[in-house]
A and B are shown apart, each in its own frame.
Chain A
Amino acid sequence: MTVSILLFLPIVAALLVLLFKNETVKHAALFFALVELGIAAYFLAGFVPDASVQYAIDAPWIPKMGIYFSAGIDGISMIMVLLTTVLVPLIILTTYKHEYKNAKAFYALILFMQAGLLTVFTALDGFLFYVGWEAALIPIYFICALWGGENRIRINIKFFIYTFAGSLFMLLGIIYLYLQTPAKVYDLRGFYDLSLTLTQQSWVFWAFFIAFAIKMPIFPFHTWQPDTYTEAPSAGTMMLSGIMLKMGIYGVIRWLIPNAPAGFLQWQNLVIILSVIGIVYASLIAFNQKDGKRLVAYSSIAHVGLIAAGIFAWTTQGVQGAMIQMLSHGINVVGMFFIWDIISRRLNTRDISQMGGIAKVAPNFSIAFLIILLGTVALPLTNGFVGEFLLLKGVFNYNIWFAAVAGLTIIFGAVYMLRMYKNVMQGETNELTAIFTDISGSEKLVLGIICVLIIGIGVYPQPILHISEAAVTNLVNTVSAKFNNAQF
């Protein structure tokens, strides 16, 4: 079995769900997403956690141009595949209480997007990577623009243009690398073997960096994010924040730094500073948010800023921290947006200041909310802690002052998150919140799974760290070797 089955199944599924009726299509979508999860689990069971690429496929696609359908799973990709295949069924489950108009198209787009995401996470060919990158963008644009809130048209065209602009520059970077390879191939390993001059690497670095920085997003490329997250339908927000932004982070680890190590080192300080500014900036704005979904959106920028800083510090610990934090952040942020989806569906508002005392009327909900919140603020024994600790360690090794400022994210995060919890859940129940009914059915299931994952990974992160350890170590060493060997 090769990874291609993982990439093509969602496309087939996306076409098949179109045959179902609008009322039953969610079950079909969930079924296919679970099959996909099953395949990923099968891959995981047979996965050998060394640095090698497994389940690889390498078929000619446009051989004349040096383009091959080349994909495979190593430790880093395995984490991303797990992230995607676990979250997509969960996200589909969160939509069970929604009645979307034209639901067939909605689920088909989600499944199609999953194919694009998995392509990005497993591609070993520059062209394939780019195609997957864009194939994930088109469906999410339609999801957000068709089922989103009031200002969806204006906001989503901004989002689309932002990300499309970034990716076109990345395409130039990819073509440029291709032209430098002696064998004229788009193969990633061919790219790794190149030895470019410092100037060349700087150009390549920026071509890739802009694309990834927009996707994550890193300050000052973040301006599309809060609006898009707020206006998107909740499932779209979860796809964007839970999985799609990881495309940018993954891209940095796999495509940016190893392809242009010297260019990266030259700009390392700047990009870390940008990441750290993003952390503080987003946290400060999050303090003042009245809209709960928007608050979570800003907190996501802060968390991603820390992940970016940890990667840009480029130590094994930092990158390992980024790997596990990508998984944890995906789980937590999906949980958080689901919490706000539940609240806004019941109360028809997301205004924090109008709420209070929900804990009294909805005890199960308040427990789940609290656990997800603790995971988000990185309390020890939750999943958030493991990753943020390693990330901060990575930044600390690079520069103690950066680490000190980046560490503020934990304090800030705790303050605005707990304040949000206090305002929403505690205090006296008022007229608005008295009607709040506790969670049931699919809501209970989703929040239950998320809580188990948060605590499970928090208490025993070793298996997950183990998956990516060899691959990350190998990658970090390759890059440092490449840098040491180069003469400038």
Chain B
Amino acid sequence: MTTLIIISVLPIVILYLGLYKVQKALLPVTVVGLLAALGAAVMQWDNNAEPIYHGMMLFNNFSVAFSVVSIVSTILILLLSKGYFERISNHIAEYYAIILFSLVGIIVMVSYHNLTMLFIGIEIMSVSLYILAGIRKSDFASNEAALKYFLMGAFSTGFLLFGITLIYGSSGSFDLDVIRDWVVTHPRNIDPLFYTGIMLIIIGLCFKVGAAPFHFWTPDVYEGAPSLITLFMSTVVKVAGFAAFLRLFSACFLTIAGFWTPVLLVITIITLFIGNITALYQQSFKRMMAFSSISHAGYLLFAIVALGAGSANSIFVYATAYSIASIIAFGALILVRQQTGSDNFEGFNGLAKKNPFLALVLTVSMLSLAGIPLTAGFIGKFFMFSGALAHYNFWLVIIAVVNAIISIFYYFRVIIAMYFRSAERAEVEVPAYYKFVLGFSAVVTIVIGIYPTFISSLI
């Protein structure tokens, strides 16, 4: 709870700092505040927490773990923002504040114990994101992104809310425990409206995590929004969406998995293929990352399709690996784009000669996203495949393998461009902050890849 309070107060402080024009203090204060929140979260570890505030919130290990991932990713993303926001806007304090407000929503999403809190968390997060997507006010693409995201987001939130209402109507409660008990005690005579509610919730949440066929907003929004905001949306927001998804389904609907598993199975398969095959045809690295993030949503759905004791941990490991690798990829993209002015793959040609460090960390990131052993991405995929195979979803895993093979093509395009194609180019200047974030992320990727023991049994 301390975490939530710190992160809620922090943006207000930031806004005041902005008001008094202390631009230099914005980033340090934000980072220090987030570190304090991180410390508070870690203190909660293994406290055998009980639901608090009449069962509204529950800060158990699950929420601590996902809070930590979200906060650390946000810190890394904010470190990359040094000098970035100044270039595209005059109102820098608002950026930090809105991102932090969004993080408040995310913390609520990973620690809710009541469906109303889930809804409130998602709304706090989403409203902030609508603003962030459109924050380049004079930019056409950014405006389009914001409008699209807002319209589609409002629509999907409607579905979610309707679903929650139907579940309330059947079970008589918003509380996760009460709903679970109601499901367990009424195995034979569950109201059809309850099932409809589950369906609507699935639609609403699939929209938030960008799973097909509810993914249509992702490419345009991801491309139109400023790169760092895209990064924030495709990592922290997505991870929080999955954490919320998993929390609800593992807490309440586990016993009626036979009903919703086939639906999610179909969604997973469509998501994998659409994400991967469309990513193949992209010329823009940023758009490729947008589609690849759809396919990663597909892999993350594995843990929910094959719901079990290991699901939380699988999502945790996969999400960590994916977030870190994405941070590297977008960090490198921002630097390359500053130099070449384009998001295309050609912009990376010959990068290895001039910037061996940048090329190396980006290679680590691509290998991790592709799931090559000795990187964190492999461990994530390994957990997902193991979980799905344990539930005898053979065909699902075979489809996933086919998709993993397809993904090699587009991830390796970057590596090929950097190492094997040559181009006249000057050295890309890598600021110290970037060096730290990219280097740190690459090291974490490899450490998790080699020795995942410490992360593999957390939750």
Contacts of A165 in B (CB 8 A): 401, 405
With A131-B374, A169-B401 as contacts: A175 and B416 at CB distance below 8 Å: no
Does B161 make an interface contact (CB < 8 A)?
A: no
A153: B residues at CB distance < 8 A: 416, 420-421
Complex Cα distance, B397 from A146, in Å, reads 33
10 further A-B pairs in the complex, CB-CB below 8 A; given A134-B378, A168-B401, A168-B405: A61-B453, A64-B453, A65-B456, A146-B419, A160-B408, A161-B405, A161-B408, A165-B401, A169-B401, A179-B386
Given contact pairs A145-B416, A160-B412, A179 touches B401 in the complex (Cβ within 8 A): no
CB distance from A194 to the nearest CB of B (A): 15
How close is B365's CB to chain A, nearest CB, in angstroms?
14
Say yes or no: is B385 at the interface (Cβ < 8 Å to chain A).
Answer: yes
Instruction: Assess whether B389 is in contact with A64, with CB atoms less than 8 Å apart.
Output: no
Instruction: Judge if A47 is at the interface, Cβ distance under 8 Å.
Output: no
Chain A residue, CB-CB nearest to B383: A65
Contact flag A130-B416 (CB < 8 Å), given A62-B452, A138-B367:
no
Closest to A65 in B: B456
Interface residue count on the B side (C-beta < 8 Å): 27
In the complex, B457 has a CB within 8 A of chain A: yes
Q: How far is the CB of B44 from chain A (nearest CB, A)?
A: 23
The answer for the CA separation of A179 and B420 in the assembled complex, in Å, is 41
17 contacts between A and B (CB under 8 A): A62-B453, A64-B456, A131-B373, A134-B372, A142-B419, A145-B416, A145-B420, A157-B408, A157-B412, A160-B408, A161-B408, A168-B401, A172-B385, A172-B397, A172-B401, A175-B389, A178-B386
Contact of B408 among A61, A164, A169, A179 (CB under 8 A): A164
* Given A64-B453, A171-B385, A172-B389, A157 and B409 contact (CB-CB distance below 8 Å): yes
Contact with A along B373-394 (1 / 0, CB 8 A): 1100010001001100110000
| A56-73 interface bits toward B, Cβ cutoff 8 Å, 1 = contact, 0 = none | 000011111100000000
Q: Which residues of B contact A393 (CB under 8 A)?
A: none
- Residues on A lying within 8 angstroms of B by beta carbon are 60-65, 130-131, 134-135, 138, 142, 145-146, 152-153, 157, 160-161, 164-165, 168-169, 171-172, 175-176, 178-179
Q: Is the CB of A172 within 8 A of B398?
A: yes
A65 touches B386 (CB 8 A): yes
Contact (Cβ within 8 A) A63 B420: no
For residue B89, give the distance in angstroms from its CB to the closest CB of chain A: 40
Residues of B within 8 A of A172 (CB): 385, 389, 397-398, 401
* Given known contacts A160-B408, A169-B401, A175-B385, A63 and B373 CB-to-CB distance under 8 angstroms: no
A-chain residues with CB within 8 Å of residue B378 when the two chains form the complex: 134
Residue of chain B at shortest CB distance from A134: B373
Residue B125 is within 8 A (CB to CB) of chain A in the complex: no
Q: Please name the residue on chain A nearest to B388 by beta carbon.
A: A175
Q: Which residues of A contact B373 (CB under 8 A)?
A: 130-131, 134-135
B261 vs chain A, min Cβ distance (A): 19
A152 to chain B: which residues have CB within 8 Å? 420
Please encode chain B, from 409 to 431, with 1 for each CB lying within 8 Å of some chain A CB and 0 for all others: 10010001001110000000000
Chain B residues in 8 Å Cβ range of A161: 405, 408-409
Report if B108 contacts A (CB, 8 A).
no
Bound together, the chains give a CA A152 to CA B419 distance in angstroms of 12
- Beta-carbon contact of A157 and B419 below 8 Å: no
Docked CA distance A33–B330 (Å): 39
**What separation, in Å, do the CA atoms of A60 and B452 have in the docked complex?**
12
In the assembled complex, the CB of A125 is this many whole angstroms from the nearest CB of chain B, namely 13
Q: State the CA gap A173–B409 with chains docked (Å).
A: 24
CA distance A69 to B389 in the complex (A): 23
- Whether the Cβ atoms of B374 and A63 lie closer than 8 Å is no
A172 to B367, CA, bound (A): 19
B430-459 Cβ-contact flags toward A at 8 Å (1 or 0): 000000000000000000000111001100
Taking chain B's interface residues, is the majority helix, strand, or loop, or is none over half, making it mixed?
A: helix
In Å, the complex CA distance between A171 and B408 comes to 16
In the bound complex, how far is the Cα of B394 from the Cα of A172, in angstroms?
9
List, in ascending order, chain B residues with CB within 8 A of A63's CB.
Answer: 453
CA distance A176 to B397 in the complex (A): 11
CB distance from A139 to the nearest CB of B (A): 11
The minimal Cβ–Cβ distance linking A369 to chain B, given in whole angstroms, is: 34
Distance in angstroms between the alpha carbons of A63 and B457 in the assembled complex: 10
Chain A neighbourhood of B385, CB < 8 A:
171-172, 175
Q: How far is the CA of A401 from the CA of B301 in the complex (A)?
A: 52
Measured in the bound complex, the distance between the Cα atoms of B382 and A169 in whole Å is 12
Closest to B389 in A: A175
Q: Which residues of B contact A62 (CB under 8 A)?
A: 452-453, 456
Name the residue of chain B whose CB is nearest to the CB of A169: B401
Residues B404 and A168 in contact, CB atoms below 8 Å apart = yes
Q: Hey, which chain B residues are within 8 Å of A60, CB to CB?
A: 453
Chain A residues within an 8 Å CB radius of B421? 153
Which residues of the other chain, A, contact B398 by a CB distance below 8 angstroms? 172
Nearest residue (CB) in A for B413 is A157
Q: Which residue of A lies closest to B313 (CB)?
A: A64
Rounded to whole Å, the gap between the CB of B326 and the closest CB of chain A is 21
Query: Which among A65, A138, A178 has the greatest number of chain B C-beta atoms within 10 A?
Result: A65
How many Å from the CB of A378 to the closest CB on chain B?
37
Q: Which residues of A contact B420 (CB under 8 A)?
A: 145-146, 152-153
B372 to chain A, nearest CB (A): 6
Max count, chain A CB within 10 A of own CB: residue among B373, B453, B457 = B373
User: A153 to B413, alpha carbons, bound, how many Å?
Assistant: 10
Pick the residue among B367, B389, B404, B453 that contacts A176 (CB under 8 A).
B389
B386 — which chain A residues lie within 8 A by C-beta? 65, 175, 178-179
Q: How far is the CB of A232 from chain B (nearest CB, A)?
A: 14
A138 to B366, CA, bound (A): 13
Contact partners of B409 in chain A: CB under 8 A? 157, 161
Q: Which residues of A contact B405 (CB under 8 A)?
A: 161, 164-165, 168
List, in ascending order, chain A residues with CB within 8 A of B408's CB: 157, 160-161, 164
Chain B residues whose C-beta falls within 8 Å of the C-beta of A169 in the assembled complex = 401
Report A-chain residues with C-beta under 8 Å of the C-beta of B404: 168
- Give 3 closest A-B pairs by Cβ, nearest first: A134-B373, A64-B457, A168-B401
CB distance from B388 to the nearest CB of A (A): 9
In B333-363, the 8 Å CB interface with A consists of: none
Which residue on chain B has the smallest CB distance to residue A165? Answer: B405
**Closest CB-CB distance, A178 to chain B, in whole Å?**
8
**B202, chain A: closest CB distance, angstroms:** 28
Q: Considering only CB atoms, which chain B residue lies closest to A133 in the complex? A: B373
Report how far A328 CA is from B53 CA in the complex, Å.
Answer: 74
For B408, give the chain A residue with the smallest CB separation: A161
CA distance A131 to B456 in the complex (A): 17
- Residues from chain B with Cβ under 8 Å of A175 in the complex: 382, 385-386, 389
Closest to A60 in B: B453
Min CB–CB distance A177 → chain B (angstroms)? 10
Cβ–Cβ < 8 Å partners of A160 in chain B: 408, 412
Instruction: List, in ascending order, chain B residues with CB within 8 A of A138's CB.
Output: 367, 372
Report how far A433 CA is from B369 CA in the complex, Å. Answer: 51
A62–B453 Cα gap in the complex (Å)? Answer: 5
Write the B130-174 contact mask toward A (1 if CB under 8 angstroms, else 0): 000000000000000000000000000000000000000000000
**Of all chain B residues, which has the CB nearest A142?**
B419
Query: Which residue on A lies nearest to B371, using beta carbons?
Result: A168
Q: Which A residues are CB-close (under 8 A) to B453?
A: 60-64
Q: B412 near A179 (CB under 8 angstroms)? A: no
| Neighbouring A residues of B456 by C-beta, 8 Å | 62, 64-65
Give the CA-CA distance A169 to B397 in the complex, in Å. Answer: 10
Q: Establish whether residues B416 and A157, one from each chain, have CB atoms under 8 Å apart when the complex forms.
A: yes
Within the complex, the shortest CB–CB distance from A142 to chain B, in Å, comes to 7
Q: How far is the CB of A172 from chain B (nearest CB, A)?
A: 6
Q: B457 to chain A: which residues have CB within 8 Å?
A: 64
Considering the complex, give the chain B residue whose CB is closest to the CB of A161: B408
Shortest C-beta distance, A159 to chain B (Å), equals: 11
In Å, the complex CA distance between A157 and B405 comes to 11
Distance in angstroms between the alpha carbons of A178 and B390 in the assembled complex: 10
B389 touching A145, Cβ below 8 Å: no
Q: How far is the CA of A165 from the CA of B407 in the complex (A)?
A: 11
Closest Cβ–Cβ distance, residue B168 to chain A (whole Å): 38
* Chain A neighbourhood of B374, CB < 8 A: 131, 134-135
